[in-house]
Amino acid sequence: MINELRKDIKNLTNQIIDWRRDLHRHPEIAFKEFRTSSVIRKFLEGLGIPVSTCAETGLKGILEGKTGGKTVALRADMDALPLKEVGDKEYISENPESTHACGHDGHMAILMGAAQLLSQRKDLFKGKVVFLFQPSEERIPGGAKKMIEEGALEGVDAVFGLHLWQPLPTGSVGIVKGAMMAQPDKFSIIVKGEGGHGSMPQTTVDPILVASHLVVNLQSIVSRNVDPLKSAVVSFGTVEGGTIYNIIPCEVSLTGTVRTFDSSLQSFIKKRLIEITEGTCRAFGATSEFKYEKGYIPLVNDEKMVDFVLDIARKTLGEESIKSIDPVMGGEDFAYFLQKVPGAFLFFGMGDGMEFPHHHPAFDLDEKSLPQAVLLMTSLALEYLARIE
């Protein structure tokens, strides 16, 4: 079976690359993936796969094999980033306000390739394959929860997904048992002082000074309040305040993120953020407004499903393809699928010769990874249905 798949994928490779480049040229951000959704719906329906709309712009296609068996789902995310692409690639984004700077164009092309190969083999397996094209992975609260609420996982026994990964060599597989990706929460703080002339700071309560102390003081949470054997991150992303060099402003705003693999630890860090913010502001005579937004839950892989993925990866890509990796502090709403049904999420290497990381305006991926990833995803579906009665 694997040799036949390799032969068919070789013949399909140029088409897979064309799909990816077309999607790359026409990126669309969260819940505005209208063209993207239309292109994929037309493709799936052309294969004879019934398609329903899910989560506004998302799609659920169901391929039925022979009667009986289980149902396995494969997922690809669809949205691009609100970022202007730079570079001179021939397939550069035609939308100046958006680009696929994370690899979702590749994810969709991979799932399209898997759909074509599986549709050609529907008489060879029992069960069903569900193709989930999900909107809004990049923007919290994301599209996965909405898809689940609208029935995306009804009847599904297992689910698999991947992320093309620039830090890994092309064609390699990285996966972690248990917690693999973090819960990415957001916080915002407004420091309120009393503004005035820069030459008379004694008549003011300087929110810039207070905000500077906050940035330093809040970093002590991880270094002094968190067990060093547990992973946690507190990072600031923005500090904004003031209009001109000689005026002390009335307010300064800060935003940041908290990342952990443990929801109880996340709650503890939130509590300490509030306490330290209030205490620091009070010490300088300032006040504050604090807001906290929960992100996706931690992504936790089913251990047996990880073993299954590793087994199939070895058979399709070779032992050398397996790379040992540590969990990462990035977030991913595929976590909600894994909360509902057993499954696994993996990183698939596409980094050979790729200089720029994910979310960089010059990001690109090694397209040699695409047919290899199609082989793995197709094999995961076929092997799962063959093994599970």
Judge if 253 and 345 occupy the same domain.
no
Judge if 289 and 304 occupy the same domain.
no
What are the DSSP E strand ranges found in 261-381? Answer: 287-293, 299-301, 322-323, 343-349
Q: How many CB atoms lie within 10 A of CB 127?
A: 23
Q: What is the pLDDT of residue 1?
A: 77
CB 354 within 8 A of CB 360: no
Partner residues linked to 189 by β-bridges: 254, 290
> Could you give the number of structural domains in the chain?
2
Q: Which of 293, 308, 326 is the last residue of a domain?
A: 293
- pTM of this prediction? 0.94
Tell me whether residue 67 is exposed, middle or buried, using C-beta atoms within 10 angstroms of its C-beta: 0 to 12, 13 to 18, 19 or more. exposed
Judge if 93 and 212 occupy the same domain.
no
Judge if 111 and 143 occupy the same domain.
yes
In this structure, are strands 299-301 and 178-181 parallel, antiparallel, or unpaired? antiparallel
pLDDT in tens, the chain (389 residues): 788 999 999 999 999 999 999 999 999 999 999 999 999 999 999 999 999 999 999 999 999 999 999 999 999 999 999 999 999 999 999 999 999 999 999 999 999 999 999 999 999 999 999 999 999 999 999 999 999 999 999 999 999 999 999 999 999 999 999 999 999 999 999 999 999 999 999 999 999 999 999 999 999 999 999 999 999 999 999 999 999 999 999 999 999 999 999 989 999 999 999 999 999 999 999 999 999 999 999 999 999 999 999 999 999 999 999 999 999 999 999 999 999 999 999 999 999 999 999 999 999 999 999 999 999 999 999 999 998 65
Q: How many CB atoms lie within 10 A of CB 46?
A: 10
For residues 251 and 192, what is the distance between their CA atoms, to the nearest angstrom?
A: 5
Q: Which of 277, 293, 309 is the last residue of a domain?
A: 293
Enter the tokens of residue 23: 């999607």
3-state helix, strand, coil in the chain (%, to 5): 40, 25, 35
Judge if 34 and 20 occupy the same domain.
yes
Tens of pLDDT, residues 77-116:
999 999 999 999 999 999 999 999 999 999 999 999 999 9
Instruction: State which residues form the domain around 383.
Output: 2-181+298-387
Judge if 7 and 85 occupy the same domain.
yes
Q: What is the CATH number of the domain that holds 231?
A: 3.30.70.360
User: Which residues participate in catalysis according to the annotation?
Assistant: 79, 137
Q: Which of 258, 293, 328 is the last residue of a domain?
A: 293
Cα–Cα nearest to 33, from 126, 114, 143 = 143
Judge if 265 and 201 occupy the same domain.
yes
**What's the CA angle centered on 105, arms 102 and 107, to 5 degrees?**
90
Judge if 80 and 175 occupy the same domain.
yes
In this structure, are strands 247-248 and 196-197 parallel, antiparallel, or unpaired? antiparallel
Judge if 242 and 328 occupy the same domain.
no
